[in-house]
Structure formats: structure tokens, C-alpha cells
């Protein structure tokens, strides 16, 4: 059973009178464990309708709460710490908490939770929280906002923290949004259904309908490589490696082959492929910020769309320093009625130049 914090501010406790002395004693022991201040005793003996007490919380977001009966007691300014093997797992501070002894359940409202991972702390805020006193997991409900130690943030209507696995989870039934702190002129944000965050590996998994945006700001000086633009990538799954700052995009293998593509959109370009990797690291260190692999298709969509129709290949490297796309693995470029093939084809984004290495074919249509 989780333990209470050693020192907590005083708060008021209201206890519903019970008929069985043994049960009343059990409640008193729970109160001591939670370190409350003195109990309030009302001098008013007027009977209070049960429905008034049952609806006392005024909150109905948390699931599994016994709402058909009065809580055994309530606590104002609630502080609680979950401890395992002498180490703090999480701390909960709430405006008010309601206790249900039979279920060993705590329902708290207007909460702030601190999730401990060694010397790192993730702070989560929400409208309600729920946990079982004989378990370690913590659930949060309503406008849940989490800020992780590296500045990464997420927003959802539900979140579950599993301290034994050191994981933060949002199921695929809930939409979630997130964003990272600006890193060397680049900002990564996402939308998806569901999220799994592993504290051990600092890895974010977007399990369903991932929509990721990387906005790159204009370099601060002319000596810094890189071109300002925005890249939007849509896929079925995405794994974001927060240590190496790489996002891996894949598709559901159960989908038909003709629609099983990762979609990549930029202001003047559209591309699709079976897989893609997005590197959102430092401009000055990047060679390829985006790599698309397997059945790659690229098409210009801006002012140059009439001159360069589309290109295909097995791999496309988006070079942020030279602002080019390097096509490999049987690349082909189709421009108007002309077709070019070679070992390597380089598409220059800022001009109409198509550079071919070891050209092996060129055909001119009618």
C-alpha cells in the first residue's frame, strides 16, 4: 500500500458516521496514515439529504467512482506520496479528495502530480485523479497537461502513469497533442490517437494516426546551414527517439498495398513512401534531415510543378544543407514527356536543375 508523505499541511477532514465500531476504527487508522489535522465536529444535528452528500464533489470525469453513495470521508488540501521500496514514485496534491474504504479508492479534484524518475520530475496537471490505495498506478482525467524534464509537453483528456514500468500512457481511444521545446531553430509537434512515453528510453510512441510537424526557422546567420520550411508527415505509427532526436514513421501492414504510404508534405513538394525517418537535430550537424525509403514518389506542387512533374526511387535523402533531394535505388525523373534514369539523381529544390550521376538512360516522349 502506498505511504503518505511525512509532512503535509493541515487540512480538514469530514467523516460520515458509521454504525459498526470496527469499521470506524479502521477509518481512524487510515486518517492517521494520511496525517490529517484535527477532525471537525458539527453542532448542527439537522438531517442532510443523502443526495446532497453524494453529489458533493461536483466532478464526474473520473470513471469507476461509486457515485451512488456518500464517500466515507473527504479531505481538503490533500497531499499524498506513493512510495515503493523506500523510493518516491509519484506525489499528488489536490484541492480536495474523497475516500471510499470498501474499494480502497481515492478520487481527487483539481490535481497536480509529480512523477519521479531518479532525479527527473515530470509534472502533470488535470481536473481529476484516481488511484487505488493498494496499487501504484495513477490515473488523471480532464484537461491533462504533462511537462517532461526535457521540455516535451503533451495534452489529452486522460492519462495513466505506471510507475513500475516507468511509462506514461494515453490509450488510442483518446486524442493527444504534443510538442517539444525549440531545439536549434526547430520545433517538433504532433497529433495522434494514443501515446506511450517510456521514461527509461525517453521514447514516445504514437500508435495510431500520427500527424507530426517539424517547423524549421530561418538560420540566425549566413554561416549556418539549413533552409527554413515546414514538413508535415502523416502515418499510422510513429516512434520518436528523444535521445537521438529522430522520428520513425511506418504504416499498418494490414492495410492494402496501394494505400500503405507515409505522406510527406512541404510548401512546394509532396512525397510518399512506405517508411520515413525525420531527424530534427541541430542544423549545423545535419546531413539529411529526412529520409524516405521503399517505393518513394515525389512531386513538385509549387511554382515549379509544371517543369518537374514527379520522381520515383527506392530511397530519397532530403539534404538540408544544399536544399536538394538525392534519389537512389533505381531512381527515375519524369519531366514533361522526358524520362531520366541513373544510379543517383539529385533534384535541386531552388532551381530546375536535375543532376544525374552515371546516367544509363534518357528518353524523350512525343
Residue 112, judged by CB atoms within 10 A of its CB (0-12, 13-18, 19+), counts as middle
CA distance to 134, 148, 186, per residue, from 32 (Å): 17, 33, 51
Residue 10: per-residue pLDDT: 39
pLDDT tier at 25, thresholds 50, 70, 90? very low
Residue 289: per-residue pLDDT: 83
Q: What percent of the chain has pLDDT over 70?
A: 73
179: pLDDT strictly greater than 80: yes
253 within a domain of the structure (yes/no): yes
Q: Are 190 and 139 contained in the same domain?
A: no
Biggest distance spanned by C-alpha atoms of the chain: 99
pLDDT tier at 154, thresholds 50, 70, 90? very high
Residue 352: per-residue pLDDT: 75
Interval 33-77: pLDDT, tens: 343 433 344 445 555 454 444 444 457 899 999 988 899 989 999
Q: Dihedral sign, CA of 63, 67, 73, 74? A: positive
pLDDT tier at 325, thresholds 50, 70, 90? very high
Q: Are 115 and 221 contained in the same domain?
A: no
94 close to 129: Cβ distance less than 8 angstroms: yes
Residue 240 per-residue DSSP state: E
Interval 107-131: pLDDT, tens: 999 999 999 988 899 999 999 999 9
Q: Distance between CA 113 and CA 100 in Å, rounded?
A: 20
DSSP assignment string, 183-209: BTTEEEEEEEEEEEEETTTTEEEE-SS
pLDDT tier at 363, thresholds 50, 70, 90? low
**Residue with grid cell 522520428, as numbered in its chain:** 247
Q: Are 223 and 286 contained in the same domain?
A: yes
pLDDT tier at 338, thresholds 50, 70, 90? confident
The average pLDDT across 147-173 equals: 94
Q: Distance between CA 96 and CA 110 in Å, rounded?
A: 7
CA distance to 10, 143, 155, 175, 251, per residue, from 147 (Å): 28, 13, 9, 17, 28
Instruction: Specify the 3-state DSSP secondary structure of 358.
Output: strand
Q: Are 216 and 112 contained in the same domain?
A: no
154 within a domain of the structure (yes/no): no
Residue 264: per-residue pLDDT: 96
7: pLDDT strictly greater than 50: no
157 within a domain of the structure (yes/no): no
Burial 163-185 (b: 16+ CB within 10 A, else e): beebbbbbbeeebbebebeeebb
Q: Are 81 and 220 contained in the same domain?
A: no
Number of domains in the chain: 2
Q: Distance between CA 213 and CA 166 in Å, rounded?
A: 27
Q: What percent of the chain has pLDDT over 90?
A: 50
Q: Are 244 and 109 contained in the same domain?
A: no
Q: Are 124 and 199 contained in the same domain?
A: no
Mean pLDDT estimate for the chain = 80
The average pLDDT across 334-345 equals: 85
159 within a domain of the structure (yes/no): no
DSSP assignment string, 282-293: -GGG-SEEEEEE
Residue 169: name the closest of 154, 188, 180 by CA. Answer: 154
Q: Are 355 and 276 contained in the same domain?
A: yes
Residue ending a domain, choose from 125, 149, 173? 149
| Residue 270, domain CATH | 2.60.450.10
319: pLDDT strictly greater than 60: yes
Q: Are 180 and 124 contained in the same domain?
A: no
Cross-strand partners of 107: 98, 130
Q: Distance between CA 361 and CA 41 in Å, rounded?
A: 93
Residue 22: per-residue pLDDT: 39
- Residues of the domain holding 34: 1-149
Q: Are 209 and 355 contained in the same domain?
A: yes
Q: Are 127 and 10 contained in the same domain?
A: yes
Residue 14: per-residue pLDDT: 43
Residue 10: name the closest of 66, 101, 79 by CA. Answer: 79
C-alpha cell at 45: 444535528
Q: Are 337 and 214 contained in the same domain?
A: yes
Residue 188: per-residue pLDDT: 86
**Residue 335 CA to its chain's centroid (Å):** 41
Instruction: Specify the 3-state DSSP secondary structure of 38.
Output: coil
91 close to 108: Cβ distance less than 8 angstroms: no
Q: Give ∠ CA 346-352-358 in degrees, rounded to 5.
A: 30
Amino acid at each position: 500500500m502506498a505511504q503518505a508523505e511525512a509532512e503535509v499541511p493541515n487540512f480538514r477532514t469530514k467523516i460520515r458516521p458509521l454504525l459498526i465500531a470496527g469499521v470506524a476504527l479502521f477509518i481512524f487508522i487510515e486518517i492517521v496514515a494520511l496525517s490529517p489535522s484535527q477532525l471537525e465536529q458539527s453542532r448542527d444535528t439537522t438531517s442532510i439529504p443523502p443526495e446532497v452528500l453524494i453529489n458533493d464533489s461536483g466532478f464526474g470525469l473520473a470513471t469507476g467512482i461509486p457515485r451512488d453513495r456518500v464517500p466515507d470521508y473527504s479531505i481538503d488540501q490533500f497531499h499524498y506520496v506513493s512510495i515503493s521500496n523506500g523510493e518516491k514514485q509519484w506525489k499528488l496534491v489536490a484541492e480536495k479528495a474523497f475516500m471510499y474504504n470498501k474499494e480502497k479508492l481515492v478520487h481527487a479534484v483539481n490535481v497536480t502530480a509529480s512523477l519521479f524518475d531518479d532525479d527527473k520530475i515530470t509534472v502533470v496537471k488535470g481536473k481529476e485523479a484516481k488511484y487505488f490505495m493498494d496499487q501504484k498506478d495513477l490515473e488523471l482525467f480532464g484537461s491533462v497537461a504533462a511537462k517532461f524534464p526535457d521540455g516535451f509537453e503533451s495534452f489529452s483528456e486522460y492519462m495513466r502513469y505506471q510507475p513500475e514500468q516507468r511509462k506514461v500512457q494515453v490509450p488510442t481511444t483518446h486524442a493527444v497533442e504534443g510538442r517539444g521545446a525549440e531545439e536549434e531553430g526547430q520545433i517538433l509537434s504532433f497529433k495522434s490517437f494514443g501515446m506511450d512515453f517510456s521514461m527509461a528510453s525517453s521514447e514516445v510512441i504514437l500508435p495510431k494516426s500520427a500527424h507530426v510537424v517539424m517547423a524549421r526557422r530561418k538560420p540566425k546567420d549566413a554561416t549556418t546551414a539549413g533552409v527554413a520550411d515546414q514538413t508535415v508527415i502523416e502515418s499510422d505509427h510513429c516512434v520518436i527517439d528523444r535521445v537521438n532526436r529522430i522520428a520513425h514513421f511506418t504504416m499498418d501492414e494490414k492495410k492494402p498495398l496501394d494505400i500503405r504510404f507515409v505522406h510527406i508534405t512541404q510548401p512546394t513538394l509532396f512525397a510518399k513512401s512506405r517508411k520515413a525517418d525525420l531527424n530534427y537535430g541541430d542544423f549545423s550537424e545535419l546531413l539529411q534531415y529526412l529520409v524516405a525509403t521503399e517505393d518513394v514518389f515525389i512531386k513538385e506542387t509549387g511554382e515549379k510543378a509544371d517543369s518537374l512533374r514527379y520522381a520515383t526511387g527506392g530511397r530519397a535523402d532530403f539534404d538540408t544543407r544544399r536544399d536538394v533531394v538525392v534519389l537512389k535505388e533505381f531512381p527515375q525523373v519524369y519531366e514533361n514527356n522526358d524520362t531520366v534514369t541513373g544510379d543517383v539523381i539529385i533534384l535541386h529544390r531552388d532551381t530546375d536543375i536535375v543532376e544525374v550521376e552515371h546516367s544509363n538512360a534518357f528518353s524523350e516522349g512525343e
